[in-house]
């Protein structure tokens, strides 16, 4: 056991050194020579101080991300090999004889331990963002969001895990297929309640107060044959200086949402381009395609987890004091496998997302007929969030769901020339 833990520690240290070297020394973030002096060149719209701060902030943030990445896997792995997973189950069984309560108790302790382990890194990210002027939320507000997220996560996971283990006990060989079948309506249900139940726990949503702007946004929606009768704004100025807009929900609960910071930092034409971009996602069925892809991926994910978890318990179950997958103590193993699969799939899902974001940019240009507001909007987004214009390849590969700003702005300039 000591050897396993020692190897794990040495491996993590070597990984941390390699990642840090890559981000701070080895990665090439230089701008392509043909883009120097163009509107995609950050030197044309950022001051020297802003350039320095953006580069510094991006490197620190990327380093923290990659150093944090394995922490969850190490936590679940150590719970298994050190017997912690079985010990938590023992505590739950001592408190209650009912499986429902045992599941809730197990999830409480598992989530609490995980939160404590991750808290220093979470606070570091918050503190870093505040030091660089991205976050303006006071510590008390940030902690409130953490507490709300803690209990929200437990409640949702309680329902999911309770159902999962009922299926594992009832259908030992086919639980993965039945669970996948139950997973589909659950995804739609969560997307349906997200705008009206979950999101308001963290922020205040109201109808867009600028009715002239709302009328122009709805006019764009009508041109794109998108059924919409209202636009929402959310109070984010008390939390951040970043700007954003998005579409959320499904069916009757679909919402177009603008951050109030976007309303104060962008001009009207720039806002309309951002809205047209979001409408492009809707009109080109990106949300539907995303859900469909997620459901297809989850089918294979459930099956792989079923096969892998069974083999690992057969081989190491006695050492972990886990006799069967139907024990609650197997939950860290399932969560570990889910996390690893999502990570391994992230380069593909990120690439698909970047492609869809590019198509939405093209859609917005064609809908509005304007490129200059789009360029200025992207430049302001870069400035407000200290976004890295041309990130290292590895960072783009694993982190970027949107094309880097250098690609987006360069495409806009090429579009103008082609016209």
User: pLDDT tens across 2-48, in order?
Assistant: 788 888 899 999 999 999 999 999 988 888 888 889 999 999 999 99
361 assigned to active site: yes
Is the predicted pLDDT of residue 419 greater than 70, yes or no? no
Are 313 and 325 contacting, i.e. CB atoms less than 8 angstroms apart? Answer: yes
Regarding predicted confidence, which is higher, 413 or 89?
A: 89
In residues, how long is the chain? 419
Tokens 């794990």 appear where? Answer: 8
Options 41, 199, 278, 388, the catalytic residue? 278
Q: The tokens 């490129």 sit on which residue? A: 371
Binding residues: 277, 281, 357
- pLDDT, residue 416, reads 63
CB-hemisphere CA count at 13 Å for 241?
A: 15
| Residues 244-262 pLDDT 10s | 888 777 666 677 889 999 9
SS3 206: strand
Q: What is the structure's pLDDT at 369?
A: 84
The share of the chain scoring above pLDDT 70, in percent, equals 97
Residue 342 confidence (pLDDT)? 94
Question: Cα–Cα distances in Å, from 71 out to 37, 87, 338?
Answer: 41, 21, 14
Q: What is the mean pLDDT of the chain?
A: 90
How does pLDDT run across 351-376, given as a tens digit for each residue? 999 999 999 999 999 888 888 999 99
Q: What is the tens place of the pLDDT at every residue in 84-112?
A: 999 999 999 999 989 999 999 999 999 99
374 vs 229, higher pLDDT: 374
Query: Is the pLDDT confidence value at 121 over 60?
Result: yes
Binding site membership for Zn(2+): which residues? 277, 281, 357
Q: Which is more confidently placed, 191 or 241?
A: 241
Token output for 405: 């700003």
Give the pTM. Answer: 0.90
């Amino acid at each position: 056991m000591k050897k396993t833990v020692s190897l794990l520690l040495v491996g993590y240290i070597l990984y941390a050194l390699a990642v840090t070297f890559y981000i701070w020394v080895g990665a090439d973030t230089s701008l392509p020579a043909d883009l120097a002096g163009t509107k995609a060149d950050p030197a044309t719209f950022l001051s020297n101080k802003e350039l320095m701060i953006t580069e510094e902030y991006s490197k620190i943030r990327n380093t923290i991300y990659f150093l944090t990445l394995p922490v969850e896997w190490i936590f679940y792995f150590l719970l298994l090999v050190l017997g912690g997973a079985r010990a938590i189950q023992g505590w739950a069984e001592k408190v209650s004889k009912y499986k429902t309560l045992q599941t809730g108790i197990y999830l409480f302790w598992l989530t609490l331990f995980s939160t404590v382990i991750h808290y220093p890194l979470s606070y570091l990210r918050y503190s870093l963002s505040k030091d660089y002027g991205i976050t303006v939320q006071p510590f008390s507000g940030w902690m409130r969001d953490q507490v709300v997220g803690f209990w929200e996560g437990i409640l949702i996971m309680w329902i999911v895990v309770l159902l999962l283990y009922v299926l594992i006990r009832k259908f030992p060989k086919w639980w993965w297929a039945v669970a996948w079948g139950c997973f589909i309506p659950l995804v739609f249900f969560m997307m349906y309640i997200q705008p009206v139940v979950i999101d308001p726990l963290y922020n205040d949503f109201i109808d867009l107060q600028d009715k002239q702007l709302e009328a122009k946004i709805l006019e764009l929606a009508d041109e794109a044959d998108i059924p919409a009768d209202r636009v929402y704004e959310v109070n984010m100025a008390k939390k951040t200086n970043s700007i954003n807009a998005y579409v959320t929900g499904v069916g009757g609960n679909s919402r177009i949402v603008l951050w109030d910071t976007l309303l104060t930092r962008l001009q009207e034409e720039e806002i309309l381009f951002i809205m047209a971009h979001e409408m492009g996602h809707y009109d080109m069925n990106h949300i539907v395609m995303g859900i469909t892809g997620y459901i297809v991926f989850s089918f294979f994910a459930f099956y792989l987890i079923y096969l892998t978890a069974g083999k690992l318990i057969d081989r190491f179950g006695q050492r972990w004091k886990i006799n069967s997958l139907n024990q609650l103590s197997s939950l860290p193993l399932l969560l570990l496998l889910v996390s690893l699969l999502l990570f391994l799939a992230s380069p593909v899902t990120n690439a698909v997302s970047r492609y869809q974001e590019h198509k939405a940019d093209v859609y917005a240009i064609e809908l509005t007929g304007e490129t200059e507001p789009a360029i200025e909007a992207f430049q302001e987004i870069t400035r407000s969030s200290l976004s890295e214009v041309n990130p290292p390849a590895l960072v783009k590969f694993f982190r970027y769901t949107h094309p880097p700003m250098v690609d987006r702005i360069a495409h806009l300039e090429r579009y103008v020339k082609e016209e």
